[in-house]
Every structure is written in structure tokens, then in C-alpha cells.
Amino acid sequence: MESFIPLFVILPLAAAFLIPIVGKFVSGFQMTLSNLVFLFLAAAGVWFLFDSNTEAVSYTVGGWEPVNGIPIAIYLVADGLSLIMLAIINTMAFLSGFYAISYLKQYTAPDNFYALLCLMVAGMNGVVLTGDLFNLYVFLEIAVIASYALVAFGTGKEELEASFKYQVLGGIASLLILFGVAMVYWKTRTLNIADAATLLKHSHDRTFHLFVQLLFITGFGLKGALIPFHAWLPDAHSSAPSPISAMLSGVLIKAIGIYCMIRIFFNMFILTEEFAVILTTLGALSMVLGALIAMVQNDMKRMFAYSSISQVGYIITGIGMGMIILARKGDQGIAALAIGGGLFHMINHAVFKGLLFLNAGAVEYENRTRNLDELGDLSTVMPVTYGTSLTASLSVSGIPPFNGFFSKLIIIIAAIQGHFYLLAALAVVVSIITLGYFLKFQKQAFFNVSRFFNKLKIKEVPFTMCFSMIVLAILCLVLSLLVFPGPRDLILTPAVEAVMNVKEYSTIITGI
């Protein structure tokens, strides 16, 4: 497996380089190459995820071995958490890229689109694999710079304004993260996460630790669009082409936001109750306020964008509760349940929210509007879009037997067992609110007869768009199986152990 790890970065980078050159001479080269690369990486990611014999492994770039126990090489590390992220990123990349084959007919410059998408995927893959703080920052910047351009891909006033806002706030986030990396290097004289963790454990400077953690939580909170750092997300998600909205909401905010927070705070710092409470509070605020703001939206994609903030809140709340329990030296089983629920919801959110943005793209593709007040009665003329959007709506609302129900249930059970009764009540109430505004979406888009609507001009979207939506709808059901012991132990348990057993991550790199 070790020899395959660099391919997750090399292949999409190579594709991004080749597409603008060869694509000028070979028709269809850009969509063919990029989708083949994404399909191969998605298959490899899922294969490694299901390989029960696979343990955490590392790849040493250049073959440089540690000198006197000090890691001097750039390390790429694949553990249970990284493998889940690789499977999510590359599966969503393939489905979004395949969807875009037909969707991009309304745009020009498909070469640029696929090249930028490959760069985004290469950056995200690098972020979840690197064991080095500076390279994490470099890969993060590759991903977000590509996403800035993709948000502005339509080059209209709305898209350019959204991209500008995204760039300004993203630049501030990057500056804070880089400052945090510099502070860690100043204190430890190393950029390797495992090596820095070993040195920071012997530092008793609580002020320094808290300051750097606040820098990281602000920077990565902006990247992950936690409230109150969310201002860029509704405009960016609603303005971007729908395949990119699916990537932004489904994987980008997780890879460069949530994943980075989990990796750095668990693997590099000693968990403290004060910081865990801050993170959990931000998660709870995002969960509640995101849902309340989504209720009043009439633009489909803005509704889904605020809903993403709310669902990310569930993820952070689950992870945060686990951090509090671990910091208090509480029951490890309950902590594992809370963290497992958060990671399970992270997987589920990538699927159902990615699907909803593809549904929104399909509706806009045929109707040329995202305004729910101008839509209606689409259930008969767009049956695939209707059926898959209903599946995603029920899943995100936590209705059984769809995957969203089980991940929310696990988070709520963990909250009750951990005596976080307020958080459990908020999770239930927010789920009911979520069901309310998604029923509004279903009614106005697919059943409400609108005076603006002319059924004779509307038809179902092309095959490539339908295919991606159907696959994601099926996954909304299949992923429910992760609640059962067999699939859970195969996929979720290694990720939870990777988060909680930080010593294994350090041992892979330092050998200590």
C-alpha cells in the first residue's frame, strides 16, 4: 500500500498539468482523463478502506530516514481517518466530474474547469495524507486557490463577488494558520506533527498552547465555515457551479477544516477541557443557527449552504463531546461513541449534501432559476431528480432508514450517556427544524403549481447527471449499514482508534 500513497497527489497534479496542454488538441481529453483519474483513486481509496489487513502506514518522500530519532523527511501517512477522507474526497470528485460532463454544456472553457478540479482534489488528498505542518499548509492553499477560481467560474457579477468574499476571508484564515505553524516551529524547531507533539508534551507553557490553539481553531474554523466564521460560505456555495458546490460542501470544508482540526488538536496538543468546551460550543451554535437561517431561505442553494453549516455543527458537537470526556479522563467507550457518531455524520453529510447540490444543479439546469417561489410541479417531469432529492432530504432530516438518522442517533445517545442533556435536546430540535425546511423545499420545488411554470418545456436532465444523483441516493441507504457491527468495525472503528490512539500515529513516524 505504501507505494500507492503518493499517487493520490501525483495523479491529479499530473492531470491538472496535462489537461490545458493536450486538451487544446484532443477533444474530450479533459473530461476523460480527469474522470479516469478520479475513478481510479476512488476505487483505490475504497479498496484500502475495506482492506481489513491494512494498518496505518507511512511513505517517506525521498527515502530519508530519521536521524537520531528526528524525522527529517516529508511523511505521507495513511491511517483509519485518512483512508475515510480519501474515499470520500475521490468518490465525490468522480461523481461530480462525471455529472459535469453534461452540466458544463452551459459554460465555456471545460479545460479550465477540469484542471482546477484536479488541483482541488490533489490539494485535499495532500492535506489528509501529509504528516508535516508546512506541507499541510501548502496543500491546503493548492485546494483553496483552485476553489476560489471555481467559485468564480461563471464570471458573472454574483460569482465574482462571492469569490472575492471567499478569497478575503480565506486569506485571513490562511494567514492565521501560517502564523500558528510559525509559532509551533518557533517553540519546537520542527514542522513534523508527530515530532512537534513529542516536544509540546514536555512544554508546560499553557498560555502558548492556548494561543496557538486559538489561532488554529479560528483559521480552520473559517475554512470549515463554523459560526461565527461562516460569512463566505452561503455566497460561495450558491454561486459556484453545482458540481463544485457539491465538492465544497461535501468534502472541501471537511478536508481543510474539520479534518485538520481533528488531526492537529488530537495528534499534536494535549487535550484540555477548556478548549474542548470552546469547540463544542461552536459546534452547537453552528448546528442551531445554521438551521434557523436555512428556514427562511427561498434560494435552494443558499438553503442547502446554511444547512451545511448546521450539519457540520453536528459533526463538531460529536467530536467536541468526545474531546471533553477524554480531557476529563472519563469513560473511553462514551468518548469513542461520540467521536464515532461525528465521523459517521461526516461521511453521511458528504453524500446527502453533495446529492442535494447536484439536485439543485439539475433543477436550475432545466428551469434556469434557483428561486423556490418560481418553481413547482417538477415531480412528474423530473422523476429522477425528485426521487433522489427526496432521499437526500429525508436523510439530512434524520428519517429512518436513511444514513443521516443513524449518525444523528449515535450523537444523541452519546450526549445522553455523557450527561450533555442540553446538546441532546438541541440535536433533536434541530433535526425537526431541518425536516421542516426540507419539506418546504420538496413542496415548493416538486409539488407546488407555479404560475411561472411551463411543464412542456421541462424534461429530465441528461444521463451523466442522473447517474451521479442515483449513485449518491443509493449510498444514502447503503451507508446505514455502518451502524451494524461488521461494517462499523471495518470502516468506522479504525478511524475512531486513529483519532483516540495518538501514540500509534507518532510511532509510525518517529519509531518511539
DSSP 103-143: HGGGSS-HHHHHHHHHHHHHHHHHHHHB-BHHHHHHHHHHH
Would you say the C-alpha torsion 322, 326, 329, 331 has a positive or negative sign? positive
Q: Which of 109, 214, 199, 274 is nearest to 506 (CA)?
A: 199
For residue 217 the three cell numbers come to 481553531
Which one of 129-133, 225-229, 262-266, 422-426 scores highest in mean pLDDT? Answer: 422-426
Backbone angles phi, psi at 459, to 5 degrees: -145, 170
Helices H, strands E: what count in the chain? 22, 2
Backbone angles phi, psi at 65, to 5 degrees: -85, 160
In this predicted structure, the answer to whether residue 376 has a pLDDT above a threshold of 90 is no
What stretches of 51-103 show up as alpha helix (H) in DSSP? Answer: 80-103
Q: Which residue has the cell 516551529?
A: 185
Question: pLDDT tens-digit profile of 136-148?
Answer: 999 999 999 999 9
Find out whether 148 and 244 touch, Cβ atoms under 8 Å: no
Find out whether 83 and 49 touch, Cβ atoms under 8 Å: yes
Find out whether 45 and 83 touch, Cβ atoms under 8 Å: yes
Q: Which pLDDT value is given to residue 480?
A: 92
Q: Which pLDDT value is given to residue 68?
A: 64
Distance, CA of 385 to CA of 85 (rounded, Å): 27
Q: Which of 498, 507, 508 is nearest to 336 (CA)?
A: 498
In this predicted structure, the answer to whether residue 241 has a pLDDT above a threshold of 80 is yes
Would you kindly state where each structural domain of the chain is located, as residue ranges? 2-510
Question: pLDDT tens-digit profile of 401-416?
Answer: 999 899 999 999 999 9
In this predicted structure, the answer to whether residue 62 has a pLDDT above a threshold of 80 is no
Distance, CA of 116 to CA of 375 (rounded, Å): 32
Residue 210 or residue 1, greater confidence: 210
What's the pLDDT band for 53 if we cut at 50, 70, 90? Answer: low
Distance, CA of 492 to CA of 87 (rounded, Å): 13
In this predicted structure, the answer to whether residue 35 has a pLDDT above a threshold of 70 is yes
DSSP 248: I
Quick one: average pLDDT of 83-99?
93
What's the pLDDT band for 425 if we cut at 50, 70, 90? Answer: very high
What's the pLDDT band for 456 if we cut at 50, 70, 90? Answer: low
In this prediction the pTM is 0.92
For residue 222 the three cell numbers come to 473559517
Distance, CA of 114 to CA of 248 (rounded, Å): 15
For residue 203, count other CB atoms closer than 10 A to its CB. Answer: 12
Distance, CA of 407 to CA of 414 (rounded, Å): 11
Backbone angles phi, psi at 7, to 5 degrees: -65, -25
Q: Which pLDDT value is given to residue 107?
A: 76
Distance, CA of 260 to CA of 346 (rounded, Å): 13
What's the pLDDT band for 511 if we cut at 50, 70, 90? Answer: low
In this predicted structure, the answer to whether residue 506 has a pLDDT above a threshold of 80 is no
Q: Which residue has the cell 423556490?
A: 372
Question: Whole-number mean pLDDT of the chain?
Answer: 87
Candidate from 118-122, 187-191, 438-442, 504-508 with smallest mean pLDDT: 504-508
Q: Is the peptide bond before 20 cis (omega within 30 degrees of 0)?
A: no
Question: pLDDT tens-digit profile of 282-320?
Answer: 999 999 999 999 999 888 989 999 999 999 999 999 999
Distance, CA of 176 to CA of 215 (rounded, Å): 6
Q: Which pLDDT value is given to residue 69?
A: 63
List, in sequence order, every residue forming a beta bridge with 113; answer none if it has no partner: none
Quick one: average pLDDT of 435-464?
80
In this predicted structure, the answer to whether residue 210 has a pLDDT above a threshold of 80 is yes
For residue 130 the three cell numbers come to 501529509
Question: pLDDT tens-digit profile of 466-490?
Answer: 999 999 999 999 999 999 988 898 8
Q: Which residue has the cell 495532500?
A: 126
Find out whether 455 and 447 touch, Cβ atoms under 8 Å: no
Quick one: average pLDDT of 227-256?
87
